[in-house]
Amino acid sequence: MHTRVSIAATTPATTPAATTATNTGAKGRRQFLVNTSAAGLALATGAAWWPSAARASSAMSLPPLPFAEQALDPVISAQTLSFHYGKHHKGYFDNLVKLIQDTPQAEQSLESLITSSAGQPAKTALFNNAGQVWNHTFYWQGLRAKGGGVPPAALKQKIEQSFGSVDALRQELAKAAAAQFGSGWVWLVLQDGQLRVTRTGGGDSPLTVGARPLLALDVWEHAYYLDYQNRRVDHIHAVTDKLVNWGFVQDNLG
């Protein structure tokens, strides 16, 4: 069973992103699903994430960040978040809108768009943009101000069984980030009952191989270059030490 990500139809103008900055664990994930399924688009139910033909495409927008733009500073600056979310993430979303609007694919779930277009050269643009929308939406939920530290007990035990210690997991995530040639993602996943660290290039994700994503770390340059220049591994160390939302990871573990 895959972890589901939902895409909102509208972003409430009166709700500041910072209102969810301290959400963690089951409460945070429940609120995430509520916030991003206003038009019945929760992928957990398998519903189409795009509104019906009667709805204007202009009504679609990304769900808000689950924290204020400055909340992750100094690990991730407000400037980086502004460009990353407001330009890159939104750009993938807008591209996806153009690709599927007024087509039968508009009725598919986001995960279905990803898995059905994987490995098909004629659908590369669809796969890349759908994947990047999913990956980024999932990525934001795995971060929180004053995160990091010690995971919840059940998750900590699972990590220790798989990696030996939480610090060893952090080191594996950093090694995977260093080993990823070019742009891509580093993941903590559950596969065959075991926790594993894996990496994907471009907009790919563990969804295409049947693994359950638990945590995503963005190693595209736009995720860190303004703050860390070419020091990708320093960025990953800082994120895993200070920003990881372990409650979200545990919820995804189930």
Q: Using one digit for the tens of pLDDT, what is the confidence trace for 31-55? A: 333 332 222 223 322 333 333 332 3
Pairing of strands 212-218, 194-201: unpaired
What tokens appear for 171 in the block? Answer: 């080191």
> Tokens 């990496």, residue?
199
Tell whether pTM > 0.85: no
Residues 151, 251: contact at Cβ < 8 Å?
no
**Total number of domains constituting the chain:** 1
* Residue 65 lies inside a defined structural domain of this protein: no
| DSSP result, 56-115 | -GGG--PPPPSS-TTTTTTTS-HHHHHHIIIIIIHHHHHHHHHHHTTSGGGGS-HHHHHH
pLDDT of 32 reads: 32
CA Rg, the chain, in Å? 17
* Residue 93 lies inside a defined structural domain of this protein: yes
Distance between CA 69 and CA 91 in Å, rounded?
18
- What tens digit of pLDDT does each residue of 51-84 get? 333 232 334 567 889 999 999 999 999 999 999 9
Which domain range does residue 186 map to?
78-253
- What tens digit of pLDDT does each residue of 195-230 get? 999 999 999 999 999 999 999 999 999 999 999 999
pLDDT of 64 reads: 87
b/e 35-57 (16+ beta carbons within 10 angstroms → b)? bbbebebbbeeeebbbbeeeeee
* Residue 194 lies inside a defined structural domain of this protein: yes
* Residue 196 lies inside a defined structural domain of this protein: yes
Q: Is the peptide bond before 63 cis (omega within 30 degrees of 0)?
A: no
* Residue 40 lies inside a defined structural domain of this protein: no
Q: What is the CATH number of the domain that holds 126?
A: 3.55.40.20
* Residue 60 lies inside a defined structural domain of this protein: no
Average pLDDT over residues 229-237: 98
* Residue 192 lies inside a defined structural domain of this protein: yes
* Residue 97 lies inside a defined structural domain of this protein: yes
pLDDT of 54 reads: 26
